[in-house]
Structure 1
Amino acid sequence: MKRLLSIALAAMMTMALCTGCGGSQEEASSAASQPASSGSSTAAPTGSSEWPDIGSADAPVTVSLLIKDVLPTEEDVIEMEKVVEEKMASHGQYIDLVIVEPPAGSYGTAVPLGLRTGEIDADIIYFQGGDLAIAQEGLLEDLTPYVEGSTFVKEIMLPVNEAQITNYPYLLWLEPARTPVPVMRKDWAESLDSYAKLVEDPTVDNYYALFKEMKDKGLVEYALTTDNANNNGDGNLARINSIFNQAFGVTATLVKQDGKWVFSKATEAEKNKLEFYAKLYAEGLLDPEYLTNTWDVMEQKFYDGKAGMIAGNAGDTIKIYNDKMVSVQGTELVALPPAKGVAEGYSAVDTTKASRGFAINAYSENKDAAWAFLEFMASPEGRILDKCGIEGKHYNIENNQIVFTDRFPEWWSRIHPTTNNFNPEPPLAEPIYSQAAQDSLTLSDQYYVEDVNVLVPEELTAQWDAMKLLYDEYSADFVRGVKPLSEFDDFVAEWNAAGGDAFSEYLAGVLG
């Protein structure tokens, strides 16, 4: 009843709902438009000391946890629950960790709906979309006091994490900036004359030469593939854009042109980039099914050798790609720098909010215990579990070193993906990440670019949605040759009519 009352009150509020231009309504917010949290914790944040008391041996506090793709019946998950409980208990923190079955259907849709209806009432909930409206309804806890008082979480936060949780204090997701980094097979890279030239001087022309040599030598059906995930309104091009946006001058969501702020999608730089993509498509260098590939189809094409290059998020994703390629083709991967031209860098990173992460249910009766779990998993002990797996199964201690077993590739980090300040004791006998995965992290740090973005008031949300759909349609037609690039001015005119002109005054007021 309390939750339903909150929803009813939220519906009556006159607060402005805001979205970031660079993302969907669920993917942007700011400190200026934060929803008030209800059901606030009355106890001091867990971080008031390193190991504040939680529960007792006779009465452990139940902490329920919902995570996408993590099933309570999995052997590794059951063992993880047990290890967490034992290690936290050794510090006087007694919890009963309960992993909750993820909802059926689309996770990003089902979780917000389930939280509203009460079908989902976990203490800690992993969101991958759909959280903004939930936070605005007062259903998510403001994590600011917990983070500020933390001992371990603060120690492993990166600048991008700090910016995101400052702007939107409802999701905690500790990982490197989500920048797709391109990778290719190491054996093929070493066989191509164009590879060394690209690494030395990663111009757009040298990328094109690499693509062309891969195909001309018969190594691949097409050099580059991607999937149909329409990230941030990029019209299925997000992975590829991370390689080429900066080089063509598409440096941020908003750029200065003729003295005023405009959306980069409606600029000459965008036209030049799409013209290059159209060239790749026409010459068979870009996967002709890029618009319809699901992520698993895209990856399989890469592992099977149909495609020569894909881009994945730095760190864990590249580790997965590398381990799978080793098992399928017997070769490791190499990570590549972004193309350079007008500028050089991977995707501009929006710090208005994390696009995914852990939230604490505002109506949880066990908020401090829930935070204690997240804090423990950021501690040295918790991180060894999160990054290395179960002792005796995924690793053993040999000669005072952590030695991975042949089952380690089965394990993946479920709570805090970052390796920032990860210095386990005993030390690792070998790195967690393959060379390609580690290089992807190094490159993503080297070529990190923050986005220039704004918030959209509720009255312009419909226009922004229409503009994104318009871009999706035109960009797909331009790349596939359905429409010639000579019609780009027509697209810009329609873009401005759909909402571009309406934004002019707003952008001037926000950005000056």
Structure 2
Amino acid sequence: MKKRGVLVLLVLLTAISIVGAAGTKETAAAVQSGAIGSAGNPVKVTYLCKDVDPITDAQQLGMLEKAIEEGMAKEGKYVDLVILSAPTGSYATVVPIAFRTGQINPDLIYFQGNDQPLAQEGLLEDLTPYVEKSVNVKAIMGDHTKAAMKNYPYLMWLAPARVQIPVMRSDWFAKLKSGKALLENPTVDNYYAMFKEIKESGMAKWPITTDGGILKIDSVFNHAFGLTATIVKENGRWVYSNATKASRDKLAFYAKLYKEGLLDNEYVTKTWETMEQAFYEGSAAFVAGTAGDVVNVYNNKMKEAQGVELVVLPPAKGVGQAYQSVDVTKESRGFALNADSKVKDAAWAILEYMAGPEGRKLDKLGLEGIHYTVEGGKYVLTKQFPSWWAKFWPTMNGLDTSNVVGEVMSKSAIDSLNAAAKYFAADTNVLLTEDLLPLKDAMDKLYREYSTDIIRGVRPISDFDEFVTKWNAAGGTRISDYLATVLK
């Protein structure tokens, strides 16, 4: 039974009784005929997504709603799309809580974590039958997404594999004596030499910066140190790589970078905004951003701030060479269908439309008259275009650029996608049962505490052994026993 409160159940039952038989007949008819609503009676669909806020961006989002509704109406699907504001607070934390308690109840909802317990409680719809019947979604879905949805069919994110790619200003990189050696042989030592040259030349205060944690730089160095997957085999047992010797060696390297002023000594308190500001203003030389759209934003903003483009750098080479391993146990973010929604077919129809030719144009090119103009049958991108980002599917798949005048995606962004494909590595991971999730959360908290203290020199690297002992006591041993039953 779904774990909603009694009050929420009463509200839902009341709403169902109000809708009555008419709504039920209309939904059944829509399923049988493929039609959605009617011109005089469109189906209301509510949508919630991070950073898509009708309060702060009423004009453009109002135009987006209208464009989607009009486009779908041409296909005989009539919807009334309503974009909602998210509750105040950290999106990844507050949205799942608000959804579980019934504070919010959107039909389409974007998650950025903490969705798995909701799926296990039956609050999210299995998308498998919708995908199987789709045309547009299937056409633009990547192999990594297909694999992830086989394992976890409650979340869908039609985007390139989410890989953090290191970038630098191209003019600065060209001045470095160590740059050529790095490209020819990107070992950990050659990366270290490049960071040293940046620091000693006075090019930037901090050769490397990041946003509060080490995930972005892990994408550059994990495989070089031997952290080739989330779960690895060590001494005959399946264990999380965070608690292995390879992790110890990597943290010792990061501590060296921090001590020598090569890693931003303020990284723990930096947000993504202050990280990016340091990069654009030149106090930091090296950051990592998600392949494709994020690298594109970084490139466009650097062109505005400094008049230069970015260069994409390879992952470090050592035990292995790849960017962060891509987890296909489940999508880490994406759209879900509310299992209690009474308009699932209409909600899915919106996702399907935005994956089709007209939806791709709208999602990636933006709004006519603002982000592009139509001239002689061509879509001419305006100066406002770089400020636009896809509100549904951040992929270039399905977008016809043959009649677009202007740069939809910068060379640096395209290079980042090519690099992500070249240095791709699939992850080994397992979806834990609900009773093991709290243990893993406690273990992750321990890792963040010890890794941060070791990097900053608050703890010596020898304390890593103490961390492993606590990690195993907190749940590492029990989870390893479980992994042995799942991984063969």
| 2:233 aligned partner | 256
Q: 8 Å contact 1:224–1:285 — kept in the other structure?
A: yes
Determine which structure has greater relative contact order: mean sequence separation of CA pairs < 8 Å that are 6+ residues apart, divided by chain length.
1
Q: Does 1:500 align with 2:476?
A: yes
Aligned ranges 1:385-400 → 2 under 5 Å: 385-400=362-377
| 1:27 aligned partner | none
Q: Does 1:53 align with 2:35?
A: yes
Deviates more, 1:179-188 or 1:72-81: 72-81
Q: Does 1:281 align with 2:265?
A: no
Q: Does 1:328 align with 2:312?
A: no
**Which one of the candidate residues 439, 444, 451 is aligned to 2:415?**
439
Q: 1:406 to 1:452 in 2, by over 3 A?
A: same
| 2:14 aligned partner | none
CA distance in structure 1 between the aligned counterparts of 2:6 and 2:48, rounded to whole angstroms: 24
Report the TM-score, using the length of structure 1 for normalisation. Answer: 0.86
- Percent identical pairs in the alignment equals 55
| 1:295 aligned partner | 272
| 1:175 aligned partner | 159
| 2:21 aligned partner | none
- For structure 1, list consecutive stretches of 5 or more residues without a partner in the other structure: 9-38, 229-235
Measured after TM superposition, the shift of residue 318 of structure 1 is 0.9
Q: 8 Å contact 1:125–1:360 — kept in the other structure?
A: yes
Deviates more, 1:197-206 or 1:305-314: 197-206
Q: 1:474 to 1:45 in 2, by over 3 A?
A: farther
CA distance in structure 2 between the aligned counterparts of 1:144 and 1:348, rounded to whole angstroms: 25
Measured after TM superposition, the shift of residue 207 of structure 1 is 1.0
Letter in 2 for 1:264: S
Aligned ranges 1:302-317 → 2 under 5 Å: 302-317=279-294
| 2:45 aligned partner | 63
CA distance in structure 1 between the aligned counterparts of 2:468 and 2:84, rounded to whole angstroms: 47
| 2:390 aligned partner | 413
| 1:185 aligned partner | 169
Q: Does 1:348 align with 2:325?
A: yes
CA distance in structure 2 between the aligned counterparts of 1:116 and 1:260, rounded to whole angstroms: 36
Measured after TM superposition, the shift of residue 357 of structure 1 is 1.1
| 2:81 aligned partner | 97
Q: Which SS does the other structure have where 1:193 is aligned?
A: coil
Q: 1:282 to 1:5 in 2, by over 3 A?
A: same
CA distance in structure 2 between the aligned counterparts of 1:459 and 1:67, rounded to whole angstroms: 29
| 2:203 aligned partner | 219
Q: 8 Å contact 2:87–2:95 — kept in the other structure?
A: yes
CA distance in structure 1 between the aligned counterparts of 2:483 and 2:46, rounded to whole angstroms: 43
CA distance in structure 2 between the aligned counterparts of 1:459 and 1:95, rounded to whole angstroms: 40
| 2:16 aligned partner | none
Q: 8 Å contact 1:261–1:504 — kept in the other structure?
A: yes
**Which one of the candidate residues 355, 359, 367 is aligned to 2:336?**
359
Superimposed CA distance per residue, residues 388-438 of structure 1 (whole angstroms, 9 cap, x where no aligned partner): 0112321123344322111111211110011124324x5323441111111
Measured after TM superposition, the shift of residue 43 of structure 1 is 4.9
Measured after TM superposition, the shift of residue 211 of structure 1 is 0.9
Q: Does 1:206 align with 2:183?
A: no
Deviates more, 1:329-338 or 1:97-106: 97-106
Report the TM-score, using the length of structure 2 for normalisation. Answer: 0.90
Deviates more, 1:369-378 or 1:119-128: 119-128
Superimposed CA distance per residue, residues 62-81 of structure 1 (whole angstroms, 9 cap, x where no aligned partner): 12211121122422111111
Q: 8 Å contact 2:8–2:102 — kept in the other structure?
A: no
Measured after TM superposition, the shift of residue 383 of structure 1 is 0.3
Q: Which SS does the other structure have where 1:223 is aligned?
A: strand
Deviates more, 1:247-256 or 1:472-481: 472-481
Deviates more, 1:179-188 or 1:249-258: 249-258
CA distance in structure 2 between the aligned counterparts of 1:262 and 1:168, rounded to whole angstroms: 22
How many residues are aligned here?
A: 470
Q: 8 Å contact 1:252–1:348 — kept in the other structure?
A: yes
CA distance in structure 2 between the aligned counterparts of 1:286 and 1:452, rounded to whole angstroms: 29
Q: 8 Å contact 2:199–2:206 — kept in the other structure?
A: yes
**Which one of the candidate residues 398, 416, 428 is aligned to 1:452?**
428
Give the CA RMSD over aligned residues: 2.4
Q: Which SS does the other structure have where 1:456 is aligned?
A: coil
Q: 1:504 to 1:382 in 2, by over 3 A?
A: closer
**Which one of the candidate residues 124, 132, 155 is aligned to 1:140?**
124
Letter in 1 for 2:217: I
Q: 1:192 to 1:43 in 2, by over 3 A?
A: farther
